[in-house]
Structure 1
Amino acid sequence: MAEFTGLVAVVTGGASGIGAATAELLSSRGASVAVLDRDISPVPPEAGHLALTCDVTDDAAVRAAVAEVAERLAGIDVVVNNAGMGAQGTIEDNDDDEWRRVLDVNLLGAVRVSRAALPYLRRSRSAAIVNTGSIAVTAGLPARALYSASKGAIYSLTLAMAADHLREGIRVNAVNPGTADTPWIGRLLEKAPDPAAERAALEARQPHGRLVAPEEVAAAVAYLASPLAGSTTGTVLAVDGGMQGLRLRPEQ
């Protein structure tokens, strides 16, 4: 499949995890891919991506990076707002500064990148934005108050953007991954008193009994971004092993 041939895709947080898997898949399907990340050192040169250092909390840096992508790759057709950070704790555990920091990355980062890309997307005949949400949007998870709030805002933002830009020919969708096997989850497991037991608990809470693979989320992003999905907008696609909607009975 090469439905992205001739299209330019920007993937934020594209140096590792879900972002890296997404960048690789879009490239394999024909896209010219630009990876924006604070640390681009993990991006292999052989991948052929345009890798640019960019902090999504810095509006000037975002605008400069997006403009550079458009200049060097002759436009922008797809934006994948994947850059994000985690947070643990109840509302008592995170102070105001932490709330501002996480919302600045997870919510306003997507706003800044999308805003900077809009002039280029309006010129595209296959314009699409895909935002990365979370299972925390639709399931109440313990000790994830701040993170859940930031991703819940992404859900609402996705719907509002889809309505605002539909008549401009720009589709806006989101993916809600379950607990994925990413470097961030790996770091959380390393801090746990019993990493093996904690991993087993995370796997068990997803009905299919394992962590979600980054490549599975990337496949959903590719569908939502694809020109073949021209009638799909304002959609939030769960990639969570059934966690959002399934209630399985215990095994006998």
Structure 2
Amino acid sequence: MLLLVLAGACAPFDVQDSGPRTPPAGLDRIPEPTPREEPRSRYGNPDSYEVFGRTYHVMDSARGYEEEGIASWYGKKFHGERTSSGEEYDMYALTAAHTRLPLPTYVRVTNLENDRSLVVRVNDRGPFAHDRLIDLSYAAAHRLGFADQGTARVRVEALTGQNESGGPSLGPIEGPVRIQVGAFRDRDNALALKRRLESRDIRPVRVESERGRRGVHRVRVGPLDSQDRVETILGRLRDAGIQDTSLVRD
């Protein structure tokens, strides 16, 4: 097993952590990181590693990753310490820790309790409590509205596989594909986005809803059956200010 530098995300569960007494001015205006292709970091990406007697396997690729679970956050206790990737942890940056995603990976995290969504860059390992999915920086938790309560139920969607323009990396188009442009707990929000897209001549748009208490309403464009058509729609989405998209292959 490679010896990892594991920062706040793998701290003993009884370690007390906190954020600042008062959020600093401008915290809500920190730009979200722009998803882009990066080489794997030199540190923090072994095939597998063990923490607290449990073995974790690092994913070969983040492409297509989507999962729901509990998010927590870490702050002052580890501010300035080294992360698993070797970078310095900054509790005011929009970053995160995950046990299995390659470092670095860009993900969109959606707080399922209030529909707030944010792009963060995963550059650390953790959390290692069995009921936790992702550990966010203090700034990210603050922006998602759960810094005071400590945890929240979230959806994590990988944005890896993006090209420099912010859209999905296409590769060859084999069969119909759709472009996902949003996911909401509130169906009215999804329908509002659908109307906005249609007003920009972005069609066809469908809202695909999951049933159940924690149902999700996903806004997707398509099906699209050619690379030219996909690139045209991606251009219109960028013109509409929507860059965080993902391809869904049927």
- TM class by shorter chain equals under 0.3
The structure whose residues are more often helix, as a share, is 1
TM-score computed with the length of structure 2 as normaliser: 0.25
The structure whose residues are more often strand, as a share, is 2
